[in-house]
Each structure stands twice: as C-alpha cells, then as structure tokens.
Structure 1
Amino acid sequence: MVAPAAAQSVPNPGPNPVPNIAAAADLRLALTEVAAAFTRDTGQKVSLTFGSSGNFYRQLQQGAPFQLFLSADEDYVLALAKAGKTVDRGTPYAIGRLAVVAPKGSSMQVDSNLAGLRAALRAGQITRFAIANPAHAPYGKRAEEVLRRGQLWEPLTGKLVLGENVSQALQFATAGGAQGGIVAYSLVLDPAFALRARYALIPAAWHRPLRQRMVLMKAAGPVAQRFYRYIQQPAARRIFVRHGFALPGEAR
C-alpha cells in the first residue's frame, strides 16, 4: 500500500521511517502503481508527493527532506548533482509525451496536428486553454514549444490557464469552462479520463524530448535506495510503458 502525501507539499522530516519521494506530476498513475507493487513485493512503504519538477528542484536546493527525486526534466537532476546535493547524477527512467485534450461538450476537435485548436481559435470558440506553467513545469515548457511551433502561442495570449503542475493543468483543461489543453499523455490514459474528455497524441518531433531522470539524495536511506533499484527492474519498466511512457534508449 502506498502512503499518500499532499501534492507539492514539503513533508515533515520527523522520525517516520517511510522515505519521502518527490515525483513529477505526470507520474501520478504510473508511480503509484509501481509503489504498490514495491510494497507487495518487499513489505516496505514509500510516501509519494507529486508536483512540479521545478518547484521540487528549488525545495531540494533548500534541503527539503525528500530521499529520492523523480524529475520530468533531467536538467533539474543534473543541476542538483552539480550542486553536490545528490549521491550521483542519477539515471534516466522514462521519456514523456504530450497530448491535446478537450472535455466532452467542447466545440474544439482534438487531433494530432492541432487543426481543431486552430479552427476553434479562428471561430472565437476558445476562451480558456490550459497548460502547466512553463516557468517551472517541464510539460508546460514543452507545451509552449508545441504552440509556438504551430504559431498558436500568440493567438492564445490572454486565454491560457496555467496549472501549478501538469496534473492540475489536466484538471483545468477538462473542467471549469476550459475548451481544452495540452497535458501529459501518461495522465489521459486513466480510464476515468475517457468518461469526461477526449485526447490526441502530439508528435514527439514537435518538441524537445521529455527525458525524465531520477536520483537519490545524499540522505537517502535503505528503503529509498531499494525503491530506486526497483524502479529500474523489468516489472516496473513495464508499468511505465503501459502508462504511456517510452523507455530510454528504445524507439518511441
């Protein structure tokens, strides 16, 4: 069983032997399943906190008591390693993808080349369009790249709703009057998503790769170290693939 934690909060560094794990928001479904399998296989628990990789990076620079960091952008891990905050440079664990989404009832059509978004903008049908905040969320940065590539960034000025992380962006994109958004593919594969929205996978070539890397912090204990190794095993890797991730070094 996974010990839950509030999104993007800094856990109490008290005597709790369960290690606190900081994980990118796109991992909410996949890593929760991996952690549950880890507990079944080992009898040990981890506490998962999901949020923006950029925010976690800043917290870890300031000594936040996380023992393992799974980032959606490897640059944050490499910067922490350079600053001497980690055991080493960590290891890649996944490659993420983007999807364009629209809630059921939205006039915006979803398609891989964003023709539906372009048409809805021309028709004046877009008033709210959600992405994660590009200032600190890797999926937001890549969503901005996609929109700029399609010359849609400027037309969406004043209409963007920014989520603190990509999970919140998905909530904004499928509720609250938004006509759609660009979010993590790994989150739209949730069966519950199909009940309320539609999606299309965005070509990987339309943005820089979302190379995701994890690393043990210097204070990592034996359970965190074991979980780190467990994530790299075939069973855990299969879970990541099932949740829409590509594996490093494999065809996308």
Structure 2
Amino acid sequence: MSSLSRLGKVFGLVLSFSMVLMPFISRAETVPAIAAAANIKFALDDIVKNFSAETGLKVRVSYGSSGNFVAQIQHGAPFEMLLSADERYIHELQKAGFARDEGVQYAVGRLALVAPNKSPLTLDTELNGVKVLLAAGKLERFAIANPEHAPYGERARELLQKLGLWDGLQTKLILGENASQAAQFAVSGSTQGGIIPLSIALAPQFKALGQSIALPAELHGPLYQRMVLTPKAGATAERFYLYLQSDAAKSVFVQYGFGLPAQ
C-alpha cells in the first residue's frame, strides 16, 4: 500500500472517530435552554448567577407563560427543563411523554395588588379600593396576566370572581401575555393598578415604580409551582435541577415572597 493510501486510510479513521465523538462533545459544550414562568424571573436570575459562580456552569433561561411553553415543548422546542407556575402543566407534559417524570415542587406562589406611585387606587387585601374606584367610574384600566394560559392570570380571575369584581372589570382589563408583562402594565402609569405575582412586586426594579400589598392565599386556588426535566436534558441541566432544590436556592425564593413546598 502506498504512503498516500495509508495516509488516506488513517485520515478516514480519524474523521470517522471524530464524527462519533461530535454529538457528545457538542452536547457537553452546549448551554442548556431552560423555560421558566415569568413570575420567577427576578428570583431565578439571582439563582442562576449563584449557580454559575459556584459551579462554573451556565444555563440560558427563557421567560414566558407556562401554557405557551408546554405547547412549544410538545412541538419540538429544545428546552431541557421547564419551571412552571402551576404544576398541572407539568402533569400535562408528563402525560404527553415530554417529561422524564412528575418533577418536583420548587415554590408556592402568592399574588399581590399593585398600583403605580401616582395612582388614586388605595391598596387593601379585600380590594375595597378597587370597588370604590370602579363605582366612581375612575378605574379605567386594570392589569392581570392572560388567564387563558398564564396561571397567575387564572388565579387573579378566581380572586376577582370571589370578591364579586370580575364582571365589573371586564371592559377595564389589560391582559399581559405573561405575568411579567402584566406587571409592567400595572406599574407603567397606563393603568390604575393590577394583580401580579408577589415575587415581581418585591423586586427592587418594581418597588421603585409603585406600591404593593400581598393578597390572602385563601382567596384563590393554590399556586404550586413545579419543575421537570425533559428527555432532552443533559448533565448541566440535571445539575441545575438539583441546585434548585438546595437550601441556597430556597433562600432566594423565600426572599422574593414565595412559600416553600411541604417536604
């Protein structure tokens, strides 16, 4: 065999070996895509920062509504983990075969009534201030997340129905695509206020723009927030999943007004 033929054969073997290794190399180097409910943005941003500082690993987080993420994952979106604002979406993913297992609860959410700094809305836990403005014809716009696919919007609707305000607010509602957008509407000055996640209301960025008050959890169904790995999850996503169950991560969730799930 000529030296040229031998060289060609060796090159072919090296190329073949490289092709075998490539999926594993690219998988190891790829920063995992994580889908997360918008209500945990500020808490999760802090947790991701701490995780990267501690491990040297990175994750890429996309924030939005839980319902939309479920649809995207079922249509092939490359997310390796979903942190949902309502555990029923995780159960839906599992039932459809797009989750490794039933996942774990990572937090319990709360709602808050908020108003921008110059709003005439008085904040109280029974929403009497909302009733007064509504009766006086001075409540023009009120923000919540879209209850059709955002769990915090669903719970806001339940609360408003329980307090007899839902029907009167129908023509006043400004619906955010997700909890984060609803929060922006609620304190932007374009509305008199709104109902948003307490976790967003407590973030420094929002405290500067308005006032808030936590609403009683018994006025709506529970917001059990659950997370799960998808079948696409790699080693980094698995490690981040475990980190989210650590005391360090839990302390951040508590800082942003979340309750912790029962052990």
Same-fold status (TM-score > 0.5): yes
Match in the other structure for 1:37 = 50
Tell me the distance in 1 between the aligned counterparts of 2:208 and 2:230: 39
RMSD: 1.5
Larger Rg, first or second structure (1 or 2): 2
In structure 1, stretches of 5+ residues that fail to align are 1-12
Tell me the distance in 2 between the aligned counterparts of 1:36 and 1:196: 25
Amino acid at match of 1:214: M
Q: Is residue 111–residue 199 contact of structure 1 (8 Å, CA) maintained in 2?
A: no
Tell me the distance in 1 between the aligned counterparts of 2:29 and 2:72: 20
1:27 aligns with 2:27: no
1:90 aligns with 2:65: no
Tell me the distance in 2 between the aligned counterparts of 1:175 and 1:50: 20
Secondary structure in 2 aligned to 1:84? Answer: coil
Partner of residue 74 from structure 1, selected from 73, 78, 87: 87
In structure 2, stretches of 5+ residues that fail to align are 1-25
Q: Is residue 104–residue 197 contact of structure 1 (8 Å, CA) maintained in 2?
A: yes
Amino acid at match of 1:39: S
Amino acid at match of 2:79: F
Match in the other structure for 2:22 = none
Tell me the distance in 2 between the aligned counterparts of 1:16 and 1:155: 53
Partner of residue 167 from structure 2, selected from 147, 154, 174: 154
Secondary structure in 2 aligned to 1:183? Answer: strand
Partner of residue 190 from structure 1, selected from 168, 188, 203: 203
**TM-score of the superposition, structure 2-length normalised?**
0.88
Amino acid at match of 1:23: A
Amino acid at match of 2:138: Q
Alignment of 1:30-179 (within 5 A): 30-179=43-192
1:238 aligns with 2:246: no
Match in the other structure for 1:181 = 194
Question: Percentage identity across aligned positions?
Answer: 50
The alpha carbon displacement at 1:15 in A equals 9.4
Match in the other structure for 1:222 = 235
Cα pair distance change 1:16/1:176, threshold 3 Å: farther
Amino acid at match of 1:160: L
The alpha carbon displacement at 1:207 in A equals 0.3
Higher helix share: 2
Q: How many residues were matched structurally?
A: 238
